[in-house]
Structure 1
Amino acid sequence: MALDPQARAVIDLVIKSGRPPYHQLSPKDARQLFRETRPASTPAPPEIGVVRNVMTEGRRGSIPLRVYRPAGVAATTPLPGLVYFHGGGWVIGDLETHDVLCRQLTAGAGITVVSVDYRLAPEHKFPAAIDDAWEATRWVNASAAELGIDASRLAVGGDSAGGNLAAVVALMARDAGSPAVTFQVLLYPVTDLGAETRSYTDFADGYMLTRDSMRWFVAQYLDSKDQAADWRASPLRAATLAGLPPALIVTAGFDPLRDEGRAYAKRLGEAGVSVDDVCYGGMIHGFVPMGRLLDSGNRAVSHIAASLREALLRKELAR
């Protein structure tokens, strides 16, 4: 499939702007660039109900969370919940950069979304982000009634590095026997930090996320290359994927991460897990929240919201 003309226009816009690639910046400057450029591609936020910031205590300190509720629902009404982990290579991104996407999923799926502001590298190396993601998910499960969440209908999700965290949390929950994660939404996830697939080579440069930037993100995150063999860094390397909740995996055709995302979907299916493996062939990495510029981003958000509704409603009907 050819590169979508709208994606080509976005790439040309970035080239024309002279924006430096992330791997040429300090982590501080990369974070600032991401915050400053994000709104240009983000659609107007939909109307929702209450949004509030809360803090929870993890094993190594407080974890900021943002809780989103749909409009017209009483605070005491328990709804399905989604714990969401933002993308950004474990180095950039925060509650603000993914605020509109969380509002879209709240409105579209009619659920409570909890966005997690986990610690970032290189100040906090692996497995700090995993520790925060796991602690936050456990806290949301324990605090479900207060948050207006039905703990029996809890999903995890994330994009890119956040998709990596969501996949690992689902594995940890399976192994621990709790929380009872019902569904996972993995958007162009990082699943293997120790291998570079063909898509790394085919789309190494010129398609927004570059191979050099991915290598830089991984170097910021890991203390050593040996850590890439740890399944908490590379969920594709987990001994078994059997017993995991159903998954929606969204990938992009012109993305260095395409092949490892699809490989994870394949392994899930082989393990007997129900998987909706959707590749937007003409798209680039990070397209889902870019609905102001990319029609496929809006279509993907609608698909994700519908998948959440279907998975969590099916859980409700089965009770």
Structure 2
Amino acid sequence: MSPANLILPVFIHDGEQNIPIASMPGVDRLGWRHGLLDSVAEARSHGVNSVVLFPKTPEELKTPTGEEAFNADGLVQRSIRLLKDRFPDLEVYTDVALDPYNSDGHDGIVRDDGVILNDETVEFLCRQAVSQARAGADCVSPSDMMDGRVGAIRRALDREGFTGVSIMAYTAKYASAYYGPFRDALASAPKAGQEHRIIPPNKKTYQQDPANYREALREARLDEAEGADIMMVKPGLPYLDIIRLLRDNSTLPIAAYHVSGEYAMLKAAAERGWLNERDAVLEALLSLRRAGSDLILTYYATQAAKWMAGE
């Protein structure tokens, strides 16, 4: 394991000051200019040259269909251009999903009766991916779990001439209890229903059942056939068996997301003196690598790189 295996997820907002995230000690919602550039510069100085962007969208810009996702001058698009201008060789990954922009808090468009509209959502995801590619993204990462979205995004990118933009598919994304701090960071949890509309209280109709092992293999075969360049398992540590399943059944690179809940647990135990933070974090990341991950998305990326260097 080395810093080259790590991808740093960064939360950004449309302001100048960094805002601490209470449930993720040591992680801030970064001001999209100076905070973002400073954080990325520090990561690069320790060998971490890959980042993935997650935006906190102002509530007034959210709609049931999430059109802000493909605003050419939106927060993510501006941030990509800023990063590529300052660090041309930085690997910029993006998130492709509607939940940061959806007033209902879902990854897809919600019909009034509570059904997630798959095909209508995929059309919007394609617009989002193309918009990010046009801004300079190196790899788009559909995390929405809609059916058929990898193939549709690949065709949309190719039609617009972005044949060199890669797709990192969230292939096995489980309906997990470990996402809570992430949703705090982006205020992206599903919203309560309204009088005339039903809003599903969770994402279990499109994310995977934690009890289901075989579905991950079906999803992997579909994503690979549709043109995915990298396949991801999320969360990481509770799903080491799924990482190994994909590793043993594909030649594609495999990514694992060491998610916010995993980070928060390690931080909380370390703050109480119950764990040696350095040793526990490096062991956790090493286990993700050993299980078969080529890439690991982790909020510890910069700190872990320092520890690997003996700092």
TM range (shorter): 0.3 to 0.5
- TM-score, normalised to structure 1, is 0.39
- TM-score, normalised to structure 2, is 0.40
